[in-house]
Amino acid sequence: MPNNFYLGIIGVGGVGNAFLEQLGKIPFPPSLVLLARSSRTLLAPLPEYSPSIPISKWEQAIQNDFLIQRGSLDPHEIAEYLAAAPGPAILVDNTSDLELARAYPLFLRRGISIVTPNKKGFSGEIGLWNDIFTSATEGNALVYHQCTVGGTLPVLSTLRDLVATGDQIISIEGVLSGTLSLLLGTYMPGSGDSKAKWSSLVSHAREAGETEPDPRDDLNGLDFARKLTIIARVIGLDINGPDEFPVESLIPAELRSLPSNGKGIEQFMSELPAFDFRMDEARDAAIKQDKVLRYVGSIDVPTRSIKVGLKQVDKGSPLAGLVGSQFLSVYTKRYSETPLILQGGGGGGEITAMGLMADLLKVMGRLR
């Protein structure tokens, strides 16, 4: 694969750092010509777009006089810079920024391909989704967002293959949150019940870095619902996002008005134990039915029914066995008797970065 690709990266957090580390190790890396984080942007000098930013030593490169230092650029400036590169340009968006996602059509129409784990552009208004893919066709650019769903599990590519080859999706059931998979799997193991307290599991997971900084971002089910929205669209349901279907929040109603700042988090964590009885009721109800409690999303295509929330599942079923893994099962016209199943240890920076890297390699393979 010739090294004639020009890469821009926006966002250098956990995923971004892991991605840069992996990028430094592939045999024929693209030229890194733009690297933006918070209010600083590093650029390879014009008109040659060379020397490029040293991938493994970009932090030291900030002191490098050969590179251009700028403040934060707006999407038009970034598009201008990348579109004029002397070879195919690819933008990796490592943020979770909706505004940047709204600029994808701008990049794509100018022939800049997009690789991203940012769910915002794919799970909001259906208009933006359509605009993104129409613009990609117009600009002869590619948009790969495999790791918006399921970490590195080949969820979207497998569903796209099924649809593209003329199969008909009948129903999908999945656990698309590694955090909720871990919490529920510990709270109620598939092998039997436990005496675990819900609020202390949440607290421990938070301390171990296994939740978002604000655990309510996991517990409200919204991130999960965004992933399910993306899946629904990939299989052809033109829904307008998580507002259109029921999403059961595991945040007690009484605590939903707490502020979303650090003080709000602390107050939420200290008040959560008083609501443990609610989860216990749900667990007891499952025990009575000889079932196991899981947080599950499902799509039934014939009825266009989509939902996310707690569900009693059969003991011994794959869903009952989950403790932290993500999971997807798909029934189709061809997979009608036994479903197609994908399962794997959730996200995490390194795993998401790997999904990104796999997408980048595919884009380079297709643009060569």
Is 227 an annotated catalytic residue? yes
Residue 21, Cα to own-chain centre: how many angstroms?
A: 20
| Pattern 109-148, a second copy, x by CB under 8 A | ----------------------------------------
Per CB under 8 A, 324 contacts a second copy:
yes
The piece of 72-80, 84-92, 128-136, 153-161 that touches a second copy (CB under 8 A) is 153-161
Per CB under 8 A, 358 contacts a second copy:
yes
Q: How far is 76 from 78, CA to CA, in rounded Å? A: 5
Per CB under 8 A, 337 contacts a second copy:
yes
Residue 254: CB atoms within 10 Å: 10
**Catalytic-labelled residue, pool 119, 120, 227, 311:** 227
Q: Tell the residue number behind the tokens 């296994």, with chain if given.
A: 210
| Pattern 23-42, a second copy, x by CB under 8 A | --xx----------------
Q: How far is 240 from 28, CA to CA, in rounded Å? A: 40
With CB under 8 A as the contact rule, the residue among 157, 199, 231, 245 that binds a second copy is 157
Per CB under 8 A, 302 contacts a second copy:
no
Q: Tell the residue number behind the tokens 């796999």, with chain if given.
A: 358
Residue number with CB closer to a second copy (127 or 166): 166
Q: How far is 274 from 365, CA to CA, in rounded Å? A: 54
Whether the Cβ atoms of residue 56 and residue 35 lie closer than 8 Å to each other: no
With CB under 8 A as the contact rule, the residue among 97, 167, 271, 280 that binds a second copy is 167
Instruction: State the pairing for strand pair 31-37/113-115.
Output: unpaired
Residue 287: left (phi > 0), alpha (psi -120 to 50), or beta? alpha
Helix or strand or coil: residue 368? coil
Residues acting as catalytic residues? 227
**Which residues lie near a second copy (CB under 8 A)?**
22, 25-26, 152-154, 157-158, 161-162, 164-167, 190-191, 316, 318, 321, 323-325, 334-335, 337-345, 350-351, 354, 357-358, 361, 365-366, 368
